[in-house]
Amino acid sequence: MPFWITSIGLLAVTGLFLVTAMRRGHGNDVTAAAYDLQVYRDQLAEVDRDLARGVLSQEDAARVQVEISRRILAADAQVQIESSGSEQNTSITRVGLAFGGALLLLGSFGIYQTIGNPGYPDLGLADRKELARESLANRPSQAAFEAQLPASAPPDIDPDFAKLLEQLRTAVKERPNELRGFTLLARNEATVQNFKAAYIAQQRVIALKADDASSFDYVQLADMMIRAAQSYVSPEAEVALRAALERDPNNGFARYYSGLMMSQNGRPDMTFRNWRDLLETGPENAPWIAPIRARIDDLAWIAGVDYTPPAARGPSAEDVEAADNLSAEDRAEMIQGMVAGLAERLGTEGGTPQEWAQLIGAYGVLGDLDKARIIWSEAQEVFAGSPEALTAIRAAAERAGLNN
């Protein structure tokens, strides 16, 4: 109610100023005919004074008086005509003003009803936090959110790879307790963007590993769920992220997705704090750095923080030393994470021929020739019109062991 009282009051004050200005304008208007009439009257009085002083003869004075009187009659007639038209215009203006004011009031109300939020209170910080908690607690499940997504066209898969994938699907059905089979299935289903089948297979991987499931296993599960839901972080994905962070509080992927979840549920301030720390600690080539840089300025503004992001940098000596100190398994996980991030960026944003060659080479080093072959096939389509680019990418494919 206070909102509407304030709005109507402001409209009324604005209208009062407009009406006052228009009235002053009309009151100060002097037409040419009215001005001429005043001049002729002054001239007629001047003739009388000249006659009294003896400047004009009686005959000359009479002749001038007749001429001025004729002009006074003509000017007076013109003044009457203009006065009548002015009153009519004033009436029209008043009607137009009233109509415009009513239109402005009704139009503002209609627009606010359409794009505004009538009745929404001015919430305090505690109330906003409570709404965010409710949004987080009541958001749709993974299955419910996926069900309302539009159907997507199946990706174009190499026939040979599709045949191998189908054989793998059959094999895991026959051997439901074989960890290696489900690990390969989850990875390859994700490669062909069948993310729902991928996270179902990854759930089986975690079930088979039981207490040996790592932080990376859980973050892979969350990543597949989030991709299946087109970047939506569901309650089930949140459970996987929490499990990943319990095993490794510094897991960058888990922290990035946790920040994304908070921004989707009314707490961009928490997202900013989370992502700022990830951005400042790096490393710069981590897959989450680019999407954080794309949004950190907006998040800082929403959070009310004057923030200047650090300049982009390459891996420091400390980063390299930290990587060297990792175990073979952890180093492999880090490399796989970076490779997955590069693959995602090239698939969505594109990249240079050198980056495509780098990705093919990385898959070759990891021994994942199926993915390397898919990337090489996509690169040939992307750079079909650039022989020089294809030469560099082809060299990387040959070094990876692909037959061209």
Residue 24 lies in a domain: yes
DSSP per-residue string spanning 152-178: -PPP---HHHHHHHHHHHHHHHH-TT-
Residue 27 lies in a domain: yes
Nearest Cα residue to 284 out of 255, 313, 327: 313
Contact 145, 229 (CB under 8 A): yes
Nearest Cα residue to 362 out of 354, 350, 372: 372
Residue 354 lies in a domain: yes
| pLDDT of res. 54 | 67
Nearest-10 Cα torsion for 105, 111, 117, 120: -10
Tens-digit pLDDT profile for residues 48-68: 776 676 666 777 777 767 777
> Which is higher by pLDDT, 238 or 345?
238
Instruction: Mark which of 85, 115, 145 sits at the end of a domain.
Output: 115
> Which is higher by pLDDT, 330 or 139?
139
**Mean per-residue pLDDT for 23-31?**
53
**Mean per-residue pLDDT for 345-351?**
73
Number of H helices, E strands in the chain: 18, 0
Residue 40 lies in a domain: yes
Tens-digit pLDDT profile for residues 176-187: 999 999 999 998
CA dist 379 and 320 (Å) reads 30
Residue 364 lies in a domain: yes
Residue 276 lies in a domain: no
Instruction: Mark which of 115, 145, 175 sits at the end of a domain.
Output: 115
Structure tokens at 184: 């390969």
Q: How many residues does the chain have?
A: 404
Structure tokens at 96: 């137009």
Say yes or no to pLDDT of 213 above 90: yes
Residue 65 lies in a domain: yes
Reported confidence tier of residue 28, pLDDT bands at 50, 70, 90: very low
CA dist 335 and 152 (Å) reads 30
| pLDDT of res. 302 | 84
| pLDDT of res. 183 | 92
The 10 Å Cβ neighbour count of residue 254 is 25
The CA angle 159-375-336, to the nearest 5 degrees, is 115
Residues 379-391, buried b or exposed e (16+ Cβ, 10 A)?
beebbeeeeebbe
Q: What is the mean pLDDT of the chain?
A: 77
Say yes or no to pLDDT of 8 above 60: yes
Highest mean pLDDT among 91-105, 302-316, 368-382: 368-382
Instruction: Mark which of 115, 150, 167 sits at the end of a domain.
Output: 115
- What residues have CB less than 8 Å from 168, skipping those under 6 apart? 181, 184, 185, 188
| pLDDT of res. 398 | 85
Number of structural domains found in the chain: 2
Instruction: Determine what percent of the chain is predicted with pLDDT higher than 90.
Output: 25
Residue 121 lies in a domain: no
Residue 203 exposure: Cα atoms within 13 Å on the Cβ side? 12
CA dist 246 and 229 (Å) reads 24
Structural domain harbouring 396:
321-404
Reported confidence tier of residue 90, pLDDT bands at 50, 70, 90: low
